[in-house]
Structure 1
Amino acid sequence: MYIRGVGDIIYFLQQLHPLEQALLAGIFTWGMTALGAASVFFTREVSRKVLDSMLGFTAGVMIAASYWSLLAPAIEMSEGRSIPAWLPAVLGFLLGGLFLRGIDKILPHLQFGSATEAAEGLKTSWRRNTLLVLAVTLHNIPEGLAVGVAFGAAASGYMYSLPAAIALTTGIGIQNFPEGLVVSVPLRREGMSCFKSFNYGQASAIVEPIASVIGVAAVMLVRPILPYALAFAAGAMIFVVVEEIIPESQHGGNAPLATIGTMIGFSVMMVLDVAFG
């Protein structure tokens, strides 16, 4: 079977169970990370300006996806119920942030450019490279959850469509390409071999297929939580953006470029969601 366009992709996915859809979507977003990480085979150095612009782009995509693909549908789904329409979105959003904060406090990780002694989470003897990759893995958990919840929402047939889930997956996949590069190239610069740098880079996103399956399963098992789950994924992503990605993109002295990257990323995701959602 040859997939020639969006219509064919939608038809192909419609033949699959939602769990299979979410798994394929998670594999796609992981694959885009691996593709970005493969850049290390062609270059050992990427300028800080490019890295900061890419981080800004990633932040913009995640912010736009949080609203257009997750929060807005959550509010729309809650209209006409016995509770205020904003309540599920607010509760889910805040719980998503608290969930990521909890993982942030527990999971040992280290931001790029920081000294090993500045590692966050529980104290551990893990190597610096492992801690660096775990920091990016932390970013990818909410992305995988968002993809899974989106396909679960599409399967429910209630105010959410399969094209909307595909648009969200596409946007996250696009921003995962620079994310893979941002992981692998600094590791290569620190003296790690090309293959190991690539392996660490792609491994940072292996959690996405797992999280996507968990997200779709949760929504399918307990459908009334759907608006809460959408907002939960949004809250988790916004926490990562504000706490990690934007500060990292801004402190390298390229704040204007990073900000432009954020606006471009936001615009790309907004276009994807409005055009296909």
Structure 2
Amino acid sequence: MIEFMSSLSPLVQTIIATLFTWGMTALGAALVFSTKNVNQKLMDGMLGFAGGVMIAASFWSLLAPALSMAESGPLPAWMPSAIGFMLGGIFLWSADNVLPHLNPNMPPTEAEGVNPQKRKRSTLLVLAITMHNIPEGLAVGVAFGSVATGNPEASIAGAVALAIGMGIQNFPEGTAVSMPLRRDGMSRAKSFYYGQLSGAVEPIAAIVGVLAVTVMEPLLPYALSFAAGAMIFVVAEEVIPGSQENGNKDLASMWLMIGFTIMMILDVALG
């Protein structure tokens, strides 16, 4: 697979990788065709796992390469990473306060953003997961773009590992949208449609990322760190609290550690 991906252009690599991550979102949403409910412990464990994958990817696939790349620049190596990381968090914080959305398993009264009461529950749920997927898609695009620049700190295997990790953690996100809609009485087909729709933004964000860094290579450490900061904000603000709010704290925490370990192994072994 690595050899096949290496033979393609960075843009095609990115599109293939994010079609996979989108497909994993759809696969998670497809559970709605076989059941109306998912065991809450299983759901909380999957969310914890997703959080672990995102934390590991933020460091091993994004921040660590960004720090290494910045060592040859005119600024202290920590500065581009620190600036990009904080900007990523600020971007997601701003989006969280503006974009109307409803996190899975939350009552409609706790919807956030501007005028959320004017939106349907299905729209609010899709927008919530879409917000999560923007930094994930951006991270994959930037990873493949960094390989295209010829940077020695980047590798096609590492970019593929990141895409695999993002795809794995997208599975519970698709489920987290489709299942609540099915429980609300929506048809299986519509519940699946809205569940997979939240992953459609990843190819778009990834294309923006790969084009940006291939055109403006000096931005690479900032772009990698930006994606990392945005993902860490999502994990801290929504994924971890969401996995523990039903009382399964130990279970969710252990699955977070498992997710972190698997993503670390993927990145180190393949990258």
* Shared fold, TM over 0.5: yes
Asked if 1:76 is matched to 2:77, the reply is: no
Counterparts of 1:51-90 in structure 2, within 5 Å, are 51-90=43-82
Counterparts of 1:153-172 in structure 2, within 5 Å, are 153-158=146-151, 159-172=153-166
Match of 2:20 among 17, 28, 35: 28
Asked if 1:103 is matched to 2:95, the reply is: yes
The sequence identity of aligned pairs, in percent, is 60
Matched residues in 1 for 2:73 and 2:60: separation?
21
- Residue 188 of structure 1 deviates from its aligned partner by 1.1
Matched residues in 1 for 2:109 and 2:96: separation?
16
1:145 is matched with 138
Match of 1:134 among 121, 127, 134: 127
Do the aligned partners of 2:85 and 2:227 also contact (CA within 8 Å) in 1? Answer: yes
Task: Give the aligned residue type for 1:129.
Answer: S
Structure 1, 107-116 or 133-142: larger mean CA deviation: 107-116
Task: Give the aligned residue type for 1:114.
Answer: M
Asked if 1:112 is matched to 2:109, the reply is: no
What's the secondary structure of 2:103's corresponding residue? coil
Matched residues in 2 for 1:177 and 1:248: separation?
16
Distance 1:266 1:36, change over 3 A: same
Asked if 1:91 is matched to 2:83, the reply is: yes
Asked if 1:185 is matched to 2:179, the reply is: yes
- Residue 231 of structure 1 deviates from its aligned partner by 0.3
Q: Could you give the per-residue CA deviations for residues 127-174 of structure 1, whole angstroms, max 9, x where no partner exists?
A: 111101211111111100000000001111211000000000001111
Q: Could you give the per-residue CA deviations for residues 209-232 of structure 1, whole angstroms, max 9, x where no partner exists?
A: 100001101101110000110000
1:11 is matched with 3
Matched residues in 2 for 1:102 and 1:182: separation?
23
Q: Could you give the per-residue CA deviations for residues 18-60 of structure 1, whole angstroms, max 9, x where no partner exists?
A: 1111111111100011011111111111111111101000000
Which 5+ residue runs of structure 2 have no aligned equivalent? none
- Residue 117 of structure 1 deviates from its aligned partner by 2.8
Match of 1:251 among 241, 245, 258: 245
Matched residues in 2 for 1:123 and 1:27: separation?
32
- Residue 82 of structure 1 deviates from its aligned partner by 2.6
Do the aligned partners of 2:105 and 2:180 also contact (CA within 8 Å) in 1? Answer: no
Matched residues in 1 for 2:105 and 2:58: separation?
27
Give structure 1 regions of 4+ aligned residues with deviation exceeding 3 angstroms: none
Aligned length: 269
- Residue 15 of structure 1 deviates from its aligned partner by 2.3
Match of 1:274 among 262, 268, 271: 268
Asked if 1:241 is matched to 2:238, the reply is: no
Matched residues in 1 for 2:26 and 2:232: separation?
23
Which 5+ residue runs of structure 1 have no aligned equivalent? 1-8
Asked if 1:194 is matched to 2:188, the reply is: yes
